[in-house]
Structures are given as structure tokens and as C-alpha cells.
Amino acid sequence: MLINKVEICGVNTSKLPVLKNTQMRTLFEAMQQGDKDARSQLINGNLRLVLSVIQRFTNRGEYVDDLFQVGCIGLMKAIDNFDLGQNVKFSTYAVPMIIGEIRRYLRDNNPIRVSRSLRDVAYKALQVRDTLVNKYSREPSINEIAGELKMPREDIVFALDAIQEPISLFEPIYHDGGDPIFVLDQISDEKNLDLSWLEEISIRDALRRLSDREKHILTLRFFEGKTQMEVADEIGISQAQVSRLEKAALNHMKKFV
């Protein structure tokens, strides 16, 4: 069902209630005293949060109904773990948890296989992340997560990267009414930069200004990767001479590069 339809998962989105801050606080206090009806009212009163979050995931080919249901799980977790004493708006706390729940769902349905051990580390890291968000009301750093798990920071980063869902290079990320900007347009090609092309021309020009012996030495050293001893053996001079000629040739080239 499309996101712009009125009904999602049997919920008439046009009739969803909107709770004021004072109502939210009263309901949270009642829920924490065991009032189950207050919890239901909090869920219904914040379903618009789920609707706003799932819009950013609608271009991934997933059913909106599925995303909505998963987002509701994240909402319920946020409601059950929200601490009124932290003086933080509920939406500020809930949105990252809803997003996290949807991302976990997308990762679990990812066609790219990731080893069980990496998944275990990643999910432990995500659980610790949720705990720290609840504790400090902010996004924890990787170092803090690694400290809680007593694991190297690099292992945490590697595991979390491994379970990231793939994204198409042709996914549009910006559209101003004209041609869209795709992910591919934002990726630099370090092997095909104008600067590298100009540097290569400059180096070739500088090489042409060297003597044949100097060019031969630099070619053996930097294009064929030979040591000074190997170059000395090949052209029949001492290693010290190769070193002097190489240094002189490089200094000569610096004038033209």
C-alpha cells in the first residue's frame, strides 16, 4: 500500500490523535504506575512519528505496511524505556529507536550474507548503543560502545559496517526539478582526477629533460621497483654512484614539476 494512502495496516492515518506535552507526561506517569490503557494511548498518539520515519525508507522496495509494523515495534520499545527524568522530548528519544528498528529489519532481510560472528558483534553493539542512548539521552560514540563491550574499536566498526544495507549507485539523493543527483555523482574517482592527469604530464615533461642514463636509472628505480643495488649491478656502476645520480636527477626534475 502506498505511503500517501489514508490507510496503512488497517490504521486510518487521517484520524490519528496528536498528544500535547502535558498529555504525554500524564500518560507516561500513569503507564509507569501500571495503567495499560495509558500505554495504548501513548502508542496511538505517536503513530505519526512512525509515519514520518518510514518515508525515508520507501524507496528500498519494501512494503510500507511491513515498515510501519516494524517502526511500531521501535515506538513501543521507546515508550517502554523512556525516562521522564531526563528532561528530553519523547520524539527526540523515539525517532532514533524507530529508525534503528527499521534498519535492523532491513539488515536481517539483506540478500548479502554476513558471517554469524560479525552479526553477533554488530547486534551486541546495537543493543549497547540503545542502552547508552536511554542512559545519556544522546548518541554514544564508537569508543563508548567498544568500552562497554570490552572490544577493540576497530572490531566494532568492522562489524557495524558489515551489516549495513547496500544502496544503489543510481539512487537519487537530491532533485531540484531538473536532473536528479545520484549517489554515483557524489563518489570521487581517485584514479582519474584532473590533478593526477596534470601531474603525470608534468613528470613526463621533466623526464624528457634528463640524460639517457638518468632516465634509465629513474625508470628502473621507480617504474620497475628495483633497489639501488640491483640498478648498480644492471648498469655496471657502484651503488653510491647510483644514489648520487638518482638524487641529482630528482633535484633536476623538481625544477620542472
- Which CATH number among 1.10.1740.10, 3.20.20.70, 3.40.630.30, 1.10.10.10 corresponds to the domain 194-254? 1.10.10.10
Closest by CA position to 247, among listed 223, 208, 221: 221
79-102 pLDDT tens trace: 998 888 877 888 888 888 898 888
26-82: pLDDT as tens digits: 999 999 888 889 999 999 889 888 888 888 877 666 778 888 889 999 999 999 988
Look up the CATH number of domain 111-164: 1.10.10.10
Residue 3 has pLDDT above 50, yes or no: no
pLDDT of residue 65: 83
Domains 111-164 and 194-254 share a fold: yes
Entry pTM: 0.44
- Cα-Cα-Cα-Cα dihedral of 190, 194, 197, 203, to 10°? -110
Least confident of 32-36, 158-162, 217-221: 158-162
Domain range summary for the chain, segments of one domain joined by +: 1-108, 111-164, 194-254
Task: Name the H helices within the chain.
Answer: 21-31, 36-45, 47-54, 64-81, 90-108, 116-136, 142-149, 153-162, 194-207, 212-218, 228-235, 239-254
Q: What CATH code is assigned to 1-108?
A: 1.20.120.1810
